């Protein structure tokens, strides 16, 4: 399950105490995830804005400590470069694109400035038709845009066992949606990580700590584009 900290974003609104109810609803999920350094104390910082990373186990950081998952590493990299942005890990292991779509309105209601959307890998592993995945992702992106949230869409590729036609159609979902909706696009979240035994856990699917470090580096320039866009506080 995930828990989201109550803190003020750039829109001047507290992320409210819905977290207790939401965590109860997600009690069946496998672990807690929240980006940002643990064990901090003292006054809460004044953030320039809030980023929510929406995704499945690749975002949640299944099998590793929360501080080693890429959203936490992204938060620390932003901070080290002088960008004081809160990064919230809203990854849920096992989630499909339909599940992500189902909670997008709730995500949007928290009024983040930026949402990183990573979804669809579990759909692909289950052989869900690419047209269905594309429609779910398109609707999710549209809802976020309608809420005036900057979207960073993470592209995904699929294993070859479902055949070349399915693999091609799946991979085409992300650049097509990004172009049609005019959002920031990460071509492949797992670039340099997928298929590399030294960068993945024993299941060969989920990145280890070193893999998440590379993912954070892949995501960073695209998020930097979002947080430095005209009108953003720097």
Catalytic residues: 57, 203, 206
Q: Which of 154, 136, 150, 135 is nearest to 55 (CA)?
A: 154
Distances (CA, A) of 54 to 61, 71, 102, 234: 12, 10, 12, 23
Full DSSP string of 99-130: HHHHHHHHHHHT--SEEEE---HHHHHTT--H
Tokens of 62: 């299944």
Helix/strand/coil for 6 = coil
Helix/strand/coil for 18 = coil
- Residue whose token pair is 């930026």: 114
Query: Cα 65 to the chain's mean position, in Å?
Result: 17
- Evaluated on CA atoms 99, 104, 107, 109, the torsion sign reads negative
């Amino acid at each position: 399950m995930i828990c989201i900290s109550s803190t003020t974003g750039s829109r001047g609104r507290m992320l409210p105490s819905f977290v207790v109810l939401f965590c109860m609803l997600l009690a069946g999920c496998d672990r807690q995830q929240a980006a940002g350094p643990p064990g901090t104390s003292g006054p809460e910082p004044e953030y320039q804005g809030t980023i929510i990373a929406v995704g499945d186990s690749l975002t949640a950081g299944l099998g590793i400590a929360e501080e080693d998952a890429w959203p936490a590493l992204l938060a620390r990299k932003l901070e080290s470069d002088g960008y004081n942005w809160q990064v919230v890990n809203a990854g849920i292991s096992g989630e499909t694109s339909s599940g992500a779509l189902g909670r997008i309105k709730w995500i949007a209601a928290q009024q983040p400035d930026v949402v990183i959307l990573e979804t669809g890998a579990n759909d692909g592993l289950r052989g869900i038709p690419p047209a269905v995945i594309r429609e779910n992702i398109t609707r999710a992106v549209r809802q976020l845009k309608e809420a005036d949230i900057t979207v960073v869409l993470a592209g995904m590729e699929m294993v070859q066992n479902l055949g070349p036609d399915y693999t091609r159609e799946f991979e085409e979902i992300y650049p097509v949606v990004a172009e049609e909706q005019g959002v920031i696009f990460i071509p492949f979240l797992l670039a340099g990580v997928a298929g590399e035994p030294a960068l993945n856990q024993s299941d060969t699917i989920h990145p280890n700590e070193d893999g998440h470090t590379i993912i954070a580096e892949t995501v960073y320039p695209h998020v930097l584009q979002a947080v430095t866009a005209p009108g953003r506080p720097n």
